[in-house]
Structure 1
Amino acid sequence: MEILPKEVWLHIFSYLDGASLRIVENICISFRDWLDDELFWFHRCKKALATVPSHKPLVTERAKAKAPWKDLFLNLISPYQFLLGCWQQVMEGHESKNNQSHRGTLLKFSILPNLGVIYGYMSEYRLEELSHSFVNVVVIHSDGEFSTHRSVERYPLGVQNHFIRTLDSLLVYRPLDSHAKYLDQVYSSEVMEFNGLGDSTDTTTWVKLHPLDMHSGCTLKPGVFASLYGGAHGEELIHICQLPSENLIVGSKLLGDRNVPYGKHTFVIDLNKPLVLSLAEQESVSRLSEVVPVDPKDDIPDSQPFKIPDGMYRETDGHNYDSCIARYAGKITYAHDDYQDPWWAEAHFVLFSQDVMGILTTTYPTFLVYTRRPDFIF
């Protein structure tokens, strides 16, 4: 130990996890004294959280700090960093009549360093508003203990297991048919079992979603979009990502409905099939269905006129769009109740901006608007 200076030892320690650093502290007095340095622990926290896509870089100064950096790293970040992000509950009962087994449930974890806590938020469907919100169901404190969102009283529940599993085994109740072939772009193979969330003491299984690449130079930047489909179906949350190898944009349901449940692709946009339409070609559904894609090598305008054909059912966000920045052909999923006999139908995908897109289908003449959820980053 005396051969190496303190700075070298601290550099070595910066690569150790929390459990290893606890051991190091007990090796000798010098190590314990050297590790009694908040700046060292700040840099350990900063380095760890730099790998979390949605987290802002840490700064040394913290307003109303509730816990020292050392406690944050050893009790919170090191053991529970893997939680940070978004998880989808793996539910049984694909064939059941339980609406929740079709709709799906999401769980988001985020850390608040100033407060010294990790918050867990679960999606909750509000029938009267036909929309989803996220409610706080669990808190992990800087001492590493868990509590409910309504009380600081600790309870002996939490993560029971954290492991890796194949996507096929996870989605045994969501078979990987042609409407789910790209799910490895949405879900990782990281799984956890959680005992108790909110008022429940049941053990539930969750699979982690891949982080969103918010800096990707894609035609439509990856993200989570919301749409209100068909009134009674309610709001759906759609994960959108681009597959450069196939030049496709794929929309997959994170929160679905009885017809097309979570864990299925709701649409696929083919970037090899751009569309350029005049207003006359958008006057009626019949004329719209006759339009064919242009050659992607052609000179395609940066803007073109847009109109919802007469007689088409529409679910909009209240805006009247008269132009768009791009338009493509693709396909959308339809199915009967309980995801019976799913099939693909032709559709037009209209990009109004990086945050708003629309879908027009001629099989069941409908226009839907999808808007980005800026609060939904993981």
Structure 2
Amino acid sequence: MQELADFQLPPGARRIVVAMSGGVDSSVVAALAARTGVETIGVTLQLYDHGEATKRAGACCAGRDIRDARAVCDRLGIAHYVFDHETSFREQVVDRFADEYLAGRTPIPCVQCNMGPKFTDLFALARDLGADALATGHYVRRVEGEHGAELHRGADPARDQSYFLFATTAAQLDFLRFPLGNLPKPRVREIAAELELLVAAKPDSQDICFVPDGDYAGLVKKLRPQAAQGGEIVDLSGRKLGEHRGIIHYTVGQRRGLEIGGSPEPLYVVRVEAEAQRVVVGPRRALAVAAARLEDMNVLGPLSSALTAKVRSMAKPVPARMLGDRLVFDAPEYGVAPGQAAVLYDGDRVLGGGWIAETEAAMAAA
């Protein structure tokens, strides 16, 4: 299979560790790794206790997923290890998710998971197992550049996951391999079927694995009971328009669920003021953002003046430039929310990114 060339193993490599979630992507990676002839070990991080895991249909690294990963490894004739990382996952991902909502920000738990349990912890495990590389099923590409490994968008735009991996460090890239980066998802399922893997038709897991029913607010209230505190909904001048039942129900750019009337034009959430427990709304033009201050930057390449920036996972990259810690958009950008990530690109190459700490309104918002 041509896909084997994508491992780019270092000379003399003897062992690959594959991060296995129990889904079709990581299972195919394990199968391709095993076909290289290099010793392959599958590793799964258990992120929930067994009792909870069996209740989480569609979740990642849950009870059924662990069983599926083990069954795939058994079929491939490779070793499979499960490591308990429930405490790490809860502290680094779930608790932070709740705290971000309480602070009026819009979190991205998938990035936090990659920064914590999925990469940092897996790296240590892979090193302990004597691996020469850690392979994952992410749809991104690792390209050998003039100055070392580079992170690039996945070839299939519909599956590209580079936004969620912007915090990957240069040192991690040296060790990581992404053999699916040049493949479309249908081809991955074809490979799984050709190899008769039991997960070939298994549905993809949902984006936020620990919120299987999609009720983010309900989870936050369970973890942080004070999140149910109500407050005012006001317009840009501070005039009260209504009341809300907790700021955790609102994110920047939201239109539905405001339950206020009397405005001649549609109203959107412009910002969430956590200390005052206040939701500020305004017309769409008030969402226009000229610049954003970024913090905790991760830089993977030169931040040239010709970069583009992606401020939401589903947004298209737009022309922008970096001035110190400020990301300045060439044209007003909408839906820029504190707590989200701004990921920077030069064409398909990921230059890095940072967390949106605050935004600067465009003139149109005045």
Q: Per the shorter chain, which TM-score range? A: under 0.3
Question: TM-score with structure 1 length normalisation?
Answer: 0.23
Which structure dedicates a bigger proportion of its chain to helix? 2
Which gives a bigger RCO, structure 1 or 2 (Cα 8 Å, sep 6+)?
2
Structure exhibiting the larger radius of gyration computed from Cα positions: 1
Question: TM-score with structure 2 length normalisation?
Answer: 0.23
Which structure dedicates a bigger proportion of its chain to strand? 1
